[in-house]
Amino acid sequence: MDTASPQTGSLTSVEPQTATGGLSGRVVAVVGGSRGIGFAVARACVRAGATVAIIAREAGRLRKASHALGGVLTFRADVTQEMQTVRTFRVLGGQCGGLDALVNSAGTFTYKPFESTTAVDWNLNLKSNLTSVFMATRAALPLLIESQGQVVNILSISSRHAFAQCSAYTAAKFGALGLTRVLAEELRPKGIRVSAVLPGATNTRLVKAFGFPIEPERLVQPEDVAQAVLTVLLAPRHTTVAEIVVTPSGGSV
Ligand SMILES: NC(=O)c1ccc[n+]([C@@H]2O[C@H](COP(=O)([O-])OP(=O)(O)OC[C@H]3O[C@@H](n4cnc5c(N)ncnc54)[C@H](OP(=O)(O)O)[C@@H]3O)[C@@H](O)[C@H]2O)c1
């Protein structure tokens, strides 16, 4: 996959009663918007009246997500690949008439002892959780400078706390929080606000794959994380919601 493939859905099929929400008139791009937390964020933004574009690698999943969202723009790209990512945001900016907010929600999670963590595991975690934030944010920057927009990075409780058997993931997520904080300072003079949402264990396939012994209903739900993202996006321009941590009430996992 060496080219970004924009797949245009119908933006007019968003239900009319949702178009008067607090994000009306704003364009939001959700990297990782085809499933899990990113999908819930995209849905919340559509309901709040935004024009939404979702970016991910798998075309079939993008199509399904777009259909479920009432028809949003989809872009097939691997945001760890520079050329694809740059091209995607160039096309996206043209098709959407700009960009007001970028939500970075791509990521992967490896749960195994350090001793058996391979270089492949390490690189996968670093690329999908950290390099993706760098690539997508840098590619979107010209559009965000134009709009004095926002960046919201979906990080993790593992950006602040160390849990055993998560070395590669934790290294990437600590790094991504560091990058988020630097960008918040560096882009502030350009009028761009940069924030992070740090979920604990959330009920998506990512956490299901590791079979934690916790009932799904006791986990954070993707919609809870989406609500936190809306809080960030709807904050008045003179305030920045810097970091929101959302963990299961029954315990901080
Ligand atoms: N679930 C949890 O318990 C939890 C807790 C804390 C933090 N988080 C963080 O929340 C974020 C989302 O997690 P999730 O649970 O929603 O995962 P998910 O259900 O697996 O969704 C991940 C999304 O990212 C896309 N993606 C992955 N790699 C990509 C790449 N290189 N380029 C473009 N798109 C890519 C996936 O689509 P394709 O595979 O088609 O590309 C998918 O749309 C991650 O950063 C994760 O670390 C999750």
| DSSP codes joined into one string, 134-161 | HHHHHHHHHHHHHHT-EEEEE--GGGTS
On the question of pLDDT at 2 being above 70, the answer is no
| Ligand 1 atom showing the smallest separation from residue 225 Cα | 10
Predicted local confidence at residue 20, as pLDDT? 44
| 111 annotated active-site | no
pLDDT on residue 215: 85
Is pLDDT above 50 for 177? Answer: yes
Residue of 89, 134, 169, 174 marked catalytic: 169
Instruction: Grade residue 209 by pLDDT with cuts at 50, 70 and 90.
Output: low
Round to whole Å and give the CA distance between 139 and 59: 21
Q: Which atom of ligand 1 is nearest to the CA of 38?
A: 16
Which pLDDT band, with edges at 50, 70 and 90, does 216 fall under? confident
Give the pLDDT score at 211. 67
Q: For position 16, what pLDDT does the model report?
A: 34
Atom of ligand 1 nearest to the CA of 62: 40
- Protein residues with CB under 6 Å of any ligand 1 atom: 31-32, 34-38, 55-58, 61, 78-80, 105-107, 109, 128-129, 132, 154, 156, 199, 201-202, 204-207
Q: Treating both helix axes as pointing N-terminal to C-terminal, what angle do 167-187 and 119-126 enclose, rounded to 10 degrees?
A: 30
Q: Do the strands 73-76 and 5-7 form a parallel or antiparallel pair, or are they unpaired?
A: antiparallel
**Which residues neighbour 152 within 8 Å (Cβ) at sequence distance 6 or greater?**
101, 102, 103, 104, 195, 196, 197, 229, 232, 233
Q: In terms of residues, how long is the chain? A: 253
CATH code assigned to 5-246: 3.40.50.720
